[in-house]
């Protein structure tokens, strides 16, 4: 059956979301239709609104969510109606080079770099006012019902609180994994984290869990420092308080730079600063924030020649279908907290207010 429900449709760039009645088609073979219970708001969604991440309109955004399987298409075996699930914006097909490699996690079936905005068969499951609406990175969670491919959904513990574990669908896993999986932070090491939003705070938690002795949190909004300290930051630095470039400040604070740095904002200036502030020979800098479209980085290659490593991390390096259920289990066993990352809980119809809060750094 076609389901009629509410969704937040973005008709064009730099406009508010419009709450519309949409039709959601039934799942085709190897697809799953999900009733979304809770969805987080992520800066990557806002990058589409502002044009920093280029996608085709109209579109239903959202990629950090949890819900309940409503129905499944032919041939689906990993989930059944009634299961609690998390949609995966980084799928895991289990067959491509990245899925088969122990070194990678960015499944070739992902729709992050592509502008497709469609299901794998090249069509959409959403219509509104007779018009087809695009999907977003294989998930589209700003709707009461969505359809995803079976390789882009993970079944989780039936006791998990969906309004908390939805963060494991992106923000928490992305940040925490960047520290423990991508960088592989070691006990006693020093770290710098640029950007203290939900993902940056999750990096701080990952560095702490990995046993870092010093975690320097960097943000131009000092209001974020108390929470960063609560979650494990040992020092907090506001670049606005200094005349000199922030990488010089961090090198002075640590003697020769940090062992690991993380850029969790998505700005080219902070990416180069994060690289420059890590130890000149064996420092590792990880790009976690989505880079803005059409911007290029220029830097002195000597910064890398001396031995530094510059890496990217998508979804914290986790193989999504395998890792997400385990991360939910770890949360249920109280191995990490999610509550401090949740600042506001709003009804779905107030999604525009949620984005205003995000843009205001709240």
H or E stretch including 8?
Answer: strand 3-9
Q: Tell me what the pLDDT averaged over the chain comes to.
A: 96
The predicted pLDDT at position 221 comes to 96
Which of the following is catalytic: 5, 18, 30, 42? Answer: 42
**Domains of the chain with bracketed CATH:** 3-171+317-360 (3.90.180.10), 183-312 (3.40.50.720)
Which of the following is catalytic: 5, 18, 47, 101? Answer: 47
The predicted pLDDT at position 53 comes to 87
What is the spatial distance between Cα 22 and Cα 5, in angstroms, rounded to a whole number? Answer: 6
The predicted pLDDT at position 292 comes to 80
- Answer yes or no: 344 catalytic: no
pLDDT higher than threshold 80 for residue 262: yes
- Answer yes or no: 278 catalytic: no
What is the spatial distance between Cα 266 and Cα 248, in angstroms, rounded to a whole number? Answer: 20
- Answer yes or no: 135 catalytic: no
- Do you know the residue count of the chain? 362
The predicted pLDDT at position 113 comes to 76
What average pLDDT does range 24-51 have in this prediction?
96
What is the spatial distance between Cα 261 and Cα 191, in angstroms, rounded to a whole number? Answer: 5
The predicted pLDDT at position 295 comes to 85
Q: Starting at the edge strand that comes first in sequence, how are the strands of the sheet with 31-39 ordered?
A: 145-149, 31-39, 65-72, 84-87, 153-155
DSSP letters spanning 90-143? S---SSSHHHH-TT----TT--SS----S-TTS--SEEETTEEEB-STTT--SB
What is the spatial distance between Cα 194 and Cα 196, in angstroms, rounded to a whole number? Answer: 7
Which of the following is catalytic: 93, 99, 107, 170? Answer: 170
Q: What is the pTM of this model?
A: 0.96
The predicted pLDDT at position 303 comes to 94
The predicted pLDDT at position 300 comes to 92
Which of the following is catalytic: 39, 44, 140, 173? Answer: 44
pLDDT higher than threshold 90 for residue 114: no
Give the 3-state secondary structure of residue 354.
helix
What is the spatial distance between Cα 259 and Cα 256, in angstroms, rounded to a whole number? Answer: 9
What average pLDDT does range 207-233 have in this prediction?
97
């Amino acid at each position: 059956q076609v389901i009629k429900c509410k969704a937040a449709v973005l008709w064009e760039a730099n406009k508010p979301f419009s709450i519309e009645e949409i039709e959601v088609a039934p799942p085709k073979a190897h697809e799953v239709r999900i009733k979304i219970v809770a969805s987080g708001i992520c800066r990557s969604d806002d990058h589409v609104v502002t044009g920093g991440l280029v996608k085709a309109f109209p579109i239903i955004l959202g990629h950090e969510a949890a819900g309940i399987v409503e129905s499944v298409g032919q041939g689906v075996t990993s989930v059944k109606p009634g299961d609690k699930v998390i949609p995966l914006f980084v799928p895991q097909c289990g067959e491509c080079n990245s899925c088969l490699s122990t070194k990678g996690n960015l499944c070739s079936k992902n729709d992050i770099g592509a502008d497709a905005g469609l299901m794998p068969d090249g069509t959409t499951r959403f219509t509104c006012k007779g018009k087809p609406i695009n999907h977003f990175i294989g998930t589209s969670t700003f709707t009461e019902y969505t359809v995803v491919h079976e390789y882009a959904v993970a079944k989780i513990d039936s006791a998990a609180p969906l309004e908390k574990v939805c963060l494991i669908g992106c923000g928490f896993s992305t940040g925490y994994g960047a520290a423990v999986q991508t960088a592989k932070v070691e006990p006693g090491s020093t770290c710098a984290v640029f950007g203290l939003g939900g993902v940056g705070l999750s990096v701080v938690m990952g560095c702490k869990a990995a046993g870092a002795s010093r975690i320097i949190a960097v943000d131009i909004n000092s209001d974020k420092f108390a929470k960063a300290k609560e979650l494990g930051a040992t020092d907090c630095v506001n670049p606005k308080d200094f005349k000199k470039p922030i990488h010089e400040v961090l090198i002075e604070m640590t003697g020769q730079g940090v062992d690991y740095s993380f850029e969790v904002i998505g700005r080219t200036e902070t990416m180069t600063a994060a690289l420059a502030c890590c130890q000149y020979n064996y420092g590792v800098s990880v790009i976690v924030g989505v880079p803005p479209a059409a911007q290029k980085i220029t830097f002195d290659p000597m910064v890398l020649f001396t031995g530094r490593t510059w890496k990217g991390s998508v979804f914290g390096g986790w193989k999504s279908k395998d890792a997400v259920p385990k991360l939910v289990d770890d949360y249920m066993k109280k191995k990490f907290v999610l509550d401090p990352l949740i600042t506001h809980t709003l009804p779905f119809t107030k999604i525009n207010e949620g984005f205003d809060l995000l843009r205001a750094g709240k």
